[in-house]
Structure formats: structure tokens, C-alpha cells
Amino acid sequence: MRHGCLGEAGSNLQAGYEEEVLNRQDAKGLLLEAGKGADEVALIGTEHEKCINSLMDKITLLKKSQEEIQYAQISMEMDVFSKPDLSTMLKDIHGQYKKLAAKNMQNTKGWFKSRFTMLTESTAKNTEATHATKDEVSESCHLLKAKTLVIKACQGMNKALEKQLQELENKQNADISAM
């Protein structure tokens, strides 16, 4: 009967230990996923930077084109009323590209900030879960040590009682033999 209680307590401790090992593995998996998410964010950031650089190159090209047209306009005498004002059109296009580039930059920054915040929060949660799991494992270790000490004390008491029982049996046998 004593062995049944001890076996059950050992099984409970073993099950708790295995559960803690699984929790730790889950926490490690979540931490790896957060790292992968950060890599994806970096990759997307690089793609957006390339897009922005491409737009900036187009703006530079348009500026050069505008300057060339302005120089051509100065060197050529044009009839203002009969031909469209290319300089104004280029300025409008340039303004539109500037607005588009600024809007894309703001959208990209907003997206990166929200993604970074989300990853930071996820990492914090995973860190908290890991700490909680470590605390639980530590507490389980302390409980295991305490239970081990109780078991050893019970074993000592058991040996002492068995010794007393043996002495009592020996005394009774001696009394019976004497009678």
C-alpha cells in the first residue's frame, strides 16, 4: 500500500516534469517563429527600400528631363499660346511623384512600425512564458526535493518500526520458549 502511494506520487511528478519539458519546447518553438517573422520583416523592408530607390531614380530622371526641357525652352523661342507649357506639366508630374514617394514612405514606415511593435509584443509574451515555465520547473524541483526528503524520512521510520517489530517477535518467541 505504501508503494502504491509512492508510485502514484512519482507518476504525478514524472507527468508534471514531462509537461514542463513540453511547455519549454513550445516556448522555444514560439521564439523561433518570432525570429523568422523578424527575418521576413527585414526582407520586406529591403524590397520597399529598392522600390523607393527606384522611385527616387525616376524623380532624378524627371528632374534632368525638366532641366533639359527648360534649357531647350530658353534656347528656342516658342509661341506660348499655341503650344502646351511643358515646364508646368513637368512640375506637376514632379509634384505628383514627390507626393507619391512621400505617401509610399509613410505607408512603409507605418507598416514597419506596426510589424515591429507586433513582433516586440510577441517576443515579450514568449519571454514571459519562458520565465513562467522556468519558475514552474524550479518550483517542481523544490517540491521533488521536499518529497524525496519525506520519502527518506518515512523509509527511516519504516526501518525503525520493522526493527522494533522484529525485536518484539524475538522477545515473544523467547517468552514462548521459556514457558
pLDDT of 75 higher than 90: no
Residue at 109 is within a domain: yes
Containing structural domain, residue 71? 17-130
Per-residue model confidence as pLDDT tens digits over 22-72: 888 888 888 788 778 777 877 787 888 888 888 888 888 888 878 777 776
87 against 165, higher pLDDT: 165
Residue at 148 is within a domain: no
Q: How many CB atoms lie within 10 A of CB 104?
A: 14
Residue at 72 is within a domain: yes
Question: What is the number of structural domains in the chain?
Answer: 1
Q: How many CB atoms lie within 10 A of CB 88?
A: 9
pLDDT of 83 higher than 70: no
Residue at 47 is within a domain: yes
Query: To the nearest whole percent, how much of the chain has pLDDT over 70?
Result: 89
pLDDT of 146 higher than 90: yes
Residue at 98 is within a domain: yes
pLDDT of 13 higher than 50: yes
Report, in this order, helix, strand and coil percent for the chain, each rounded to 5: 95, 0, 5
Give CA separation, 74 vs 37, 77, 84, 94, 147, in Å.
Answer: 55, 7, 15, 20, 97
> What φ, ψ does residue 77 adopt, rounded to 5°?
-95, 120
pLDDT of 4 higher than 70: no
Of 57, 74, 72, 67, nearest to 90 by C-alpha is 67
**Contact between residue 52 and residue 105 where contact means Cβ atoms under 8 Å apart:** yes
Confidence (pLDDT) at 155: 95
Q: What average pLDDT does this structure show over 145-160?
A: 94
**Contact between residue 67 and residue 87 where contact means Cβ atoms under 8 Å apart:** no
Residue at 179 is within a domain: no
Of 4, 24, 21, 2, nearest to 159 by C-alpha is 2
User: Please, which pLDDT band fits residue 5 given cuts at 50, 70 and 90?
Assistant: low
Residue at 33 is within a domain: yes
17 against 74, higher pLDDT: 17
Confidence (pLDDT) at 73: 66
Residue at 135 is within a domain: no
Of 29, 6, 124, nearest to 21 by C-alpha is 29
What is the pLDDT of the chain when averaged over all its residues? Answer: 84
